[in-house]
Amino acid sequence: MGTDRGGARFDGTTWTTFNDENSGLPGSPIYAVVARNGAVWFATDGGITKYDGASWEVFNSANSALIAGKVLALAFDRQGNLWAGIQGMGYGLAHFDGATWKVYTAVDMGFPCDGVAAVAIDSSDNVWFGMRTKGLARFDGSGWLYFGQNDSAEVLASPSSLIVDPTGQLIIGTKGTGAFTFRNLNEWGRFKPSPSGLLNFDASTLALDRAGNLWFAGGWSGNSLGVQRYDGTGWKHYNVANSGLPEGNVNAVAFDSAGGVWFGTRAGIGVLRGGVASVPSSSGGSSTSASSR
């Protein structure tokens, strides 16, 4: 799990923390974490770091083609290529095939880009990415499609989380206009706040569990409403009062192989196994990102 002070790992009994003093991490906070083939990849202010359980490898502007800047998002495609979203005006996507880095900027894309905050890969290995304030785009390996901020029925602002569901529909979470759905390149839908549905316009954190349930949270805006689960027909809301969630500002959601749902909050970690129970946190910071295993 990523926190504002480094990385943290929980083996069921003990927490182990990783930071720039005791590991190869170049700094903190950790903006994204992904795991593949036994290795864990971290997105940081100082580039991208890989940890294989024994050694650390850092990729940054000094030793690779990565552009200097915060790395905000990470995702692997089905071929094992890593895609990264980079913050900064004119910056965009970085691609790593295991040997070589390639960076795509606004010049390559042909449309405005002020940094990429979210990345998701669909079943055809198309790369979808949300720009910090410039809308949504797709790269199919050879060409770019730009959807901007106003191609939806209502303004799509600040895409901060992307998920492709099992039907191929793209779910887009934002920090200020709720959550959107998008399919077939022209069909838009929207989750709007309501007493029986999405509780807030901040849907900056999205997660999809193995059963196909969508989880929504919005801790980045400072709201303390907890987390919501949508099963396709109805909503379930978990907060401090009704579930034992350690704190209501949820910034990360992830799933373990035993069916547990893990929540990162500003006050520590919670795990849902029939009910939410607090897990003592010695990770030394607020949770910012998580990786499902």
What is the predicted pLDDT for the residue at 289? 55
Look up tokens 């390996």; give the residue: 141
- CA 266, 270, 272: angle at the middle one, nearest 5? 145
What is the predicted pLDDT for the residue at 119? 97
Indicate the residue type of 115: G
| Residue 220 pLDDT exceeds 80 | no
The DSSP string of 71-110 is EEEEEE-TTS-EEEEEBSTT--EEEE-SS-EEEE-HHHHT
Q: CA–CA separation, 101 vs 67, rounded Å?
A: 10
Indicate the residue type of 161: S
Look up tokens 């083609």; give the residue: 65
Q: What is the pLDDT of residues 110-146, one digit of tens each?
A: 888 888 999 999 999 999 999 887 789 999 999 999 9
Region 247-254: mean pLDDT is 88
CB of 3 within 8 A of CB of 26? no
Q: What is the pLDDT of residues 43-63, one digit of tens each?
A: 998 899 999 999 999 999 888
Q: Is 67 strand, coil or helix? A: coil
| Residue 195 pLDDT exceeds 80 | no
What is the predicted pLDDT for the residue at 73? 95
User: pLDDT tier at 267 (50, 70, 90 boundaries)?
Assistant: confident
What is the predicted pLDDT for the residue at 154? 59
Q: CA–CA separation, 233 vs 158, rounded Å?
A: 27
- Going from the C-alpha of 265 to that of each of 136, 163, 235, 260, the distances in angstroms are 27, 21, 21, 16
Strands 39-44 and 47-51: antiparallel
